[in-house]
């Protein structure tokens, strides 16, 4: 647990990825096999199947926010790293006021692992009732990644529902299609109540009940 705690102290806020811009230094995995892009599955869940042998994604549920012929980007929503004060996420930020840092120190929330890429970046996945300068609004929810949203959460002025996430999940062109064709993932219909459900260990089973076959 000490290792995770040290790691969190090094996180930074950074600009959100564009639609399907892959993270810096992205490389395709070994044994990568291309599939064929036929349609976008954004705004749905990716649910790891038992055929997915990547231990990082064991029973992962990922909300897929971007998906086109260039690739895909999403966030795991059921992998909790631990519970930490919000101040631990901004300890290296010299622009934060002491009064704000004290507020953040009093709020302890679960921090989620969003995926294996860009592991030094913080994102807040949240309901559409909140907007800050960094907010990107999607069909069913929003994504922000600036200091203000953490301060607003600490002051009870933030979104009604939120997940604080570190790292992202991303796929290159035709990579996700290949994994879907090899049955490494199932597709599940979006359900916002599942994303913000506080029974994180139940999310995979609940998501599996929403599986559908693409047309």
Q: Tokens 């997915």 identify what position?
A: 52
Q: Is the pLDDT reported for residue 19 higher than 70?
A: no
Domain limits of the chain? 2-13+38-115+168-212
Q: CA end-to-end span of the chain, whole Å?
A: 44
- pLDDT tens per residue across span 81-134: 999 999 998 866 667 888 999 999 999 999 999 999 998 899 999 999 999 999
Mean pLDDT of 134-163: 94
Can you give the length of the chain in residues? Answer: 215
Q: Note the pLDDT of residue 38.
A: 86
125 in Cβ contact with 144 (< 8 Å): no
For the whole model, what pTM was predicted?
A: 0.84
Band of pLDDT at residue 33, cut at 50, 70 and 90: low
- 2-13+38-115+168-212 maps to which CATH number? 3.40.1740.10
Give CA angle at 98 (3, 13), nearest 5°: 50
**Strands 185-188 and 142-144: what pairing?**
unpaired
How many Å is the maximal CA-CA distance in the chain? 54
Q: Does the pLDDT of residue 5 top 50, yes or no?
A: no
């Amino acid at each position: 647990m000490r290792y995770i705690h040290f790691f969190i102290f090094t996180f930074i806020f950074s600009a959100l990825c564009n639609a399907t811009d892959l993270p810096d230094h992205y490389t395709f995995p070994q044994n990568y096999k291309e599939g064929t892009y036929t349609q976008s599955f954004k705004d749905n869940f990716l649910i790891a199947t038992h055929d997915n042998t990547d231990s990082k994604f064991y029973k992962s549920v990922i909300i897929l926010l971007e998906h086109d012929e260039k690739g895909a980007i999403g966030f795991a929503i059921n992998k909790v790293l631990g519970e930490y004060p919000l101040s631990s996420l901004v300890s290296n930020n010299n622009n934060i006021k002491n009064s704000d840092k004290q507020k953040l120190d009093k709020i302890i929330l679960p921090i989620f692992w969003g995926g294996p890429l860009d592991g030094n970046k913080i994102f807040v996945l949240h309901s559409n009732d909140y907007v800050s300068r960094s907010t990107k609004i999607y069909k069913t929810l929003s994504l922000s990644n600036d200091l203000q949203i953490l301060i607003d959460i600490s002051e009870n002025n933030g979104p009604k529902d939120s997940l604080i996430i570190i790292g992202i999940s991303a796929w290159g062109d035709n990579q996700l299609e290949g994994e879907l064709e090899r049955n490494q993932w199932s597709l599940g219909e979006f359900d916002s109540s599942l994303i913000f459900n506080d029974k994180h260990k139940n999310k995979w089973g609940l998501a599996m009940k929403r599986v559908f076959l693409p047309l």
